[in-house]
């Protein structure tokens, strides 16, 4: 079994019980040089302080999550969403990451028009893409499993994400290939190839699909190897496009959050090597 952790990135939410200093210290001790960060805990700690903390620890920030929620119809809500996304771009730039993950947003209350909602996302990307590029940041559209289409993300497949991204330069907008969200889609291999051919795989993330799903479903991501996803095959598909970037483990799971952080991190590294290498 491989022992190479050089491409592993630990997403902050996987060990949510850790503070940002604990995260950086734990990763350094474990020999993991990359982290994915989330806006809320970074803002709480202070963006500039967080940037200095990870820099001093010698860590690379592989992504910042999240921007998006760009489907509102109300002009005031849309303006506020754009303002918040510009702030997210600025935060990503301050953290020296080139990737801002976008969760596009669900249907507004009373709205049932998925197509129109996706067009509003495209309108927002037309404004945000150039702003991000000027700051060295790429926008990465993350398709979420269809069970989230109503309230969280009207972009459910890589095909839908690419149909949006390809309206803009790859330096501005690409996609996230998240195994948890696309493993079920028989079109995923072809769409991974399509994304790679266009230089649009901006992030590759791993979490397992376990059943039964918990109430609320959001916290149903499983530890690698506990569910149904064939990570090794998906990694081969992604790497066949030439992608050689970080592989980020992002798991939302209350069971993991209740455990000792160092124990969880050691298990993440072990499962990554066992199931994704």
- pLDDT (0 to 100) of residue 215: 86
- pLDDT (0 to 100) of residue 216: 84
274 pLDDT tier (thresholds 50, 70, 90): very high
| pLDDT higher at 210 or 215 | 210
- pLDDT (0 to 100) of residue 106: 98
Residue 246 clears pLDDT 80, i.e. is over it: yes
Instruction: Report DSSP state, residue 9.
Output: E
Residue positions counted in the chain:
277
**Mean pLDDT score, 173-187:** 98
**Mean pLDDT score, 88-92:** 98
Mean pLDDT estimate for the chain: 97
pTM: 0.97
**Mean pLDDT score, 210-239:** 95
Give the largest Cα separation in the chain, rounded: 54
Give the closest residue to 252 by CA, choosing from 65, 34, 43, 6.
Answer: 65
CB atoms within 10 A of CB 272: 24
Residue 1 clears pLDDT 80, i.e. is over it: no
Give the closest residue to 100 by CA, choosing from 123, 74, 71, 70.
Answer: 70
Contact 117, 68 (CB under 8 A): no
Residue 100 clears pLDDT 80, i.e. is over it: yes
pLDDT digit string, tens, across residues 117-132: 999 999 999 999 999 9
Residue 2 clears pLDDT 90, i.e. is over it: no
CA distance 14 to 220: 12
**Mean pLDDT score, 48-61:** 98
**Mean pLDDT score, 199-208:** 98
Q: What is the percent of the chain with per-residue pLDDT over 70, rounded to a whole number? A: 100
Contact 175, 162 (CB under 8 A): yes
């Amino acid at each position: 079994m491989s022992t190479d952790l050089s491409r592993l990135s630990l997403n902050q939410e996987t060990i949510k019980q850790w503070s940002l200093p604990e995260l950086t210290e734990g990763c350094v001790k474990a020999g993991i040089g990359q982290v994915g960060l989330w806006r809320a805990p970074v803002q709480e700690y202070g963006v500039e302080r967080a940037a200095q903390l990870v820099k001093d620890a010698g860590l690379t920030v592989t992504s910042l999550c999240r921007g998006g929620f760009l489907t509102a119809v109300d002009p005031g809500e849309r303006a506020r969403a754009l303002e918040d996304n510009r702030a997210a771009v600025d935060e990503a730039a301050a953290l020296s990451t080139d990737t801002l993950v976008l969760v596009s947003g669900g249907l507004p209350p009373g709205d049932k028009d998925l197509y129109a909602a996706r067009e509003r996302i495209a309108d927002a990307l037309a404004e945000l893409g150039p702003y991000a590029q000027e700051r060295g940041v790429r926008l990465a559209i993350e398709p979420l499993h269809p069970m989230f289409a109503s309230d969280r993300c009207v972009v459910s497949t890589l095909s839908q994400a690419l149909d949006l991204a390809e309206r803009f330069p790859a330096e501005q907008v690409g996609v996230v290939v998240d195994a948890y969200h696309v493993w079920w889609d028989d079109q995923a291999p072809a769409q991974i190839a399509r994304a790679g051919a266009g230089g649009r795989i901006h992030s590759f993330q791993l979490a397992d699909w376990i059943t039964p799903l918990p109430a609320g479903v959001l916290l149903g991501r499983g530890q690698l190897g506990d569910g149904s996803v064939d990570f090794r095959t998906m990694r081969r598909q992604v790497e066949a496009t030439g992608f050689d970037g970080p592989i980020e483990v992002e798991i939302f799971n209350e069971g993991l959050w209740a455990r000792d952080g160092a124990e969880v991190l050691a298990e993440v590294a072990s499962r990554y090597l066992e199931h994704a290498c």
